[in-house]
């Protein structure tokens, strides 16, 4: 299976409008971060997790010609507002695109993109057409022959997100902690992509670096990549500070699992 990090920035991306590069070195391209999402390639199937605002640019850069399913983690703007950029795929395939998420996120998608949920017809083939599938946390489901386990995480005090596990790989962004149930679901994962917004202790809706390192250690994964990073997370500084099996992600990064 091949993973591509489409984007690994926090909700504002890096650099941040009106604030700039923060502690990030502007001369290092690995610090230029679009909003977070990944592509998963397994055999001839391509899965997308989340549709960030820069999805069009990210997919053009990746050279993506086909997407078979989309999994959404949650309904925050930086994970869903690129949805309209999926139109090219349904226009090309001539059928609706399967999307998977929990009920709350699906309701928001329906509210924002209601026209995409209407039945496919030849008269509307240039519009985006989505085929919704509501999934339950911790209940495995299969799409395109790939079994996926959704893992529910708290995302601040009043919100939640879904991580996704496929075999011994798991992608988990936008979480503030790992519950015992989620921990159990993550046991045995060898390659983990994990939320890590910054170092500030006051961050309460994401994992801090300290918390991310704690959970990576507890889960004893072979490799971990940090994502959803803010403008105080300089790439080279992190590489120097972190043990060699933990790396900050960067936009366009690819690895096999």
> Which positions lie near Zn ion, rule CB under 5 A?
11, 76, 78, 174
Shortest Å distance, C-beta 52 to Zn ion: 8
Which three-class secondary structure state does DSSP give residue 53?
coil
Which residue lies nearer to Zn ion by CB, 37 or 221? 37
Shortest Å distance, C-beta 207 to Zn ion: 12
Which residue lies nearer to Zn ion by CB, 10 or 116? 10
Buried-exposed string 74-97: b where 16+ CB fall within 10 A, e elsewhere: bbbebbbbbbebbbbbbeeeeebb
- How far is residue 14's CA from residue 34's CA, in Å, rounded to a whole number? 7
Shortest Å distance, C-beta 136 to Zn ion: 20
Shortest Å distance, C-beta 196 to Zn ion: 12
- Do 139 and 150 meet the contact criterion of CB atoms below 8 Å apart? yes
Which residue lies nearer to Zn ion by CB, 13 or 238? 13
Shortest Å distance, C-beta 232 to Zn ion: 16
| Main-chain phi, psi angles of 223, to 5 degrees | -140, 140
Shortest Å distance, C-beta 75 to Zn ion: 8
DSSP for residue 16: B
Q: Which two tokens stand for residue 34?
A: 């679009």
Q: In 3D, which of 109, 115, 161, 149 has the Cα closest to residue 132? A: 109
Shortest Å distance, C-beta 11 to Zn ion: 5
Q: Is 132 exposed, middle or buried (0-12, 13-18, 19+ CB in 10 A)?
A: middle
Which three-class secondary structure state does DSSP give residue 15?
coil
Which residue lies nearer to Zn ion by CB, 30 or 197? 197
- How far is residue 143's CA from residue 49's CA, in Å, rounded to a whole number? 13
Which residue lies nearer to Zn ion by CB, 46 or 105? 105
Strands 141-143 and 146-154: antiparallel
Which residue lies nearer to Zn ion by CB, 31 or 52? 52
- How far is residue 40's CA from residue 47's CA, in Å, rounded to a whole number? 5
Which residue lies nearer to Zn ion by CB, 159 or 255? 159
């Amino acid at each position: 299976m091949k993973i591509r990090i489409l984007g690994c920035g926090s909700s504002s991306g890096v650099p941040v409008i009106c604030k700039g590069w923060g502690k990030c070195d502007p001369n290092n391209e690995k610090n230029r971060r679009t909003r977070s999402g990944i592509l998963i390639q397994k055999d001839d199937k391509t899965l997308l997790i989340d549709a960030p605002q820069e999805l069009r640019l990210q997919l053009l850069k990746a050279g993506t010609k086909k997407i078979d399913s989309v999994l959404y983690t949650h309904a925050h703007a930086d994970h869903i507002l690129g949805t309209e950029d999926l139109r090219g795929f349904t226009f090309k395939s001539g059928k609706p695109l399967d999307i998977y998420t929990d009920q709350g996120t699906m309701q928001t998608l329906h509210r924002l993109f209601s026209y995409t949920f209407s039945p496919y017809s030849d008269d509307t083939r240039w519009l985006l057409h989505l085929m919704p599938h509501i999934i339950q946390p911790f209940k495995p489901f299969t799409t395109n022959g790939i079994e996926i386990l959704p893992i529910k995480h708290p995302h601040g005090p009043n919100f939640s997100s879904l991580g996704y596990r496929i075999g011994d790989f798991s992608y988990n962004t936008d979480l503030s902690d790992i519950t015992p149930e989620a921990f159990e679901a993550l046991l045995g994962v060898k390659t983990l992509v994990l939320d890590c917004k910054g170092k500030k202790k006051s961050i309460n809706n994401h994992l801090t670096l300290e918390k991310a390192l704690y959970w990576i250690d507890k889960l004893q994964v072979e490799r971990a990549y940090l994502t959803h990073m803010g403008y105080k997370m300089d790439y080279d500084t992190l590489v120097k500070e972190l043990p060699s099996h933990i790396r900050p992600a960067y936009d366009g990064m690819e690895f096999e699992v």
